[in-house]
Amino acid sequence: MDQGNSTEVKVLHSYDGIQEYDNPLPSWWKWVFVITMAVSPFYLLYFHIGAPGRSVDEMYQASLTENTKKQYAEIGDLAADQATMIKYLKDPKWVGVGQSIFKANCVSCHGSDGGGNVGPNLCDDNYKHIKALPDIIKVLNEGVGAGAMPAWATRFSHKNDIILVSVYVASLRGSKPASPKAPDGSPIAVWPIE
């Protein structure tokens, strides 16, 4: 052992020629741990138990809502009609907004690619409650199947959310999901393009 080193290292055990040493932790590690333990109750009180709006999730949701309001200021309040859906079906930016809403709310039932899970396949030509584009909005607003498909009208923060997710659902038709569910419902006519 080095004579210039003031810390003494003790050998705790020796098995089969392998020695286990009792090396002390660096003091800065100990102090970081002590400071973390001292600060954690205040952090917990401020961000998790304190006033509403302080948790990381609540701050994220607030900034997400603010960003959505700014995006929707570009287009205003959308009409829940076929002409609006056709217009936004042609705009990849807004189809992408609908996709993000779909991924946040609809994946558990319809699968990440719309191929169906508990809910029906949205990519084929068979539909149960839909005959025309605006019917998608109606199903989302009111729900169907005695709650199997819940009514989303009160769950979204803005009416445009339902219209844009409906546009995304309409855009899924004809796509090829990884593992599609069997067709459910009856075939309907193709979506109009104008």
Q: What does the pLDDT read at residue 5?
A: 52
Q: What are the C-alpha distances in Å from 189 to residues 95, 169, 192?
A: 21, 16, 9
Mean pLDDT throughout 169-185? 89
Per-residue pLDDT, 168? 93
- In the predicted model, what is the mean pLDDT of residues 149-174? 89
Q: Read off the pLDDT of residues 41-99 as tens digits, 9 standing for 90 and up.
A: 998 888 888 777 777 888 888 888 788 888 888 888 888 899 999 999 999 989 988 89
Closest by alpha carbon to 114, among 166, 180, 167?
180
Local structure of 186: helix, strand or coil: strand
pLDDT band at 6 (very low <50, low <70, confident <90, very high): low
Domains of the chain: 10-49 (no CATH), 66-187 (1.10.760.10)
pLDDT tens digits, one per residue of 20-38: 777 888 999 999 999 999 9
Least confident of 12-26, 135-149, 164-178: 12-26
**Confidence at 134, pLDDT banded by 50, 70, 90:** very high
Please answer whether residues 145 and 127 qualify as being in contact, where contact means their C-beta atoms are separated by less than 8 angstroms: no
User: What does the pLDDT read at residue 1?
Assistant: 45
pLDDT at 164 over 60: yes
Q: How far is CA 94 from the centre of its chain?
A: 17
pLDDT in tens, 102-124: 988 888 889 889 898 888 989 99
pLDDT at position 28: 96
Burial of 113 per CB tally in 10 Å (0-12, 13-18, 19+): middle
| Those residues with Cβ within 8 angstroms of residue 80's Cβ, 6 or more apart along the chain or in another chain | 134, 137, 141, 159, 162, 163
More confident site: 81 or 12: 81
Task: With cut-offs at 50, 70 and 90, classify the pLDDT of residue 8.
Answer: low
Q: Tokens in use for 91?
A: 């705009």
Q: How far is CA 34 from the centre of its chain?
A: 36
Q: pLDDT value at position 9?
A: 62
∠97-109-176 over CA atoms, to 5°?
Answer: 70
Residue 157: what pLDDT?
Answer: 78
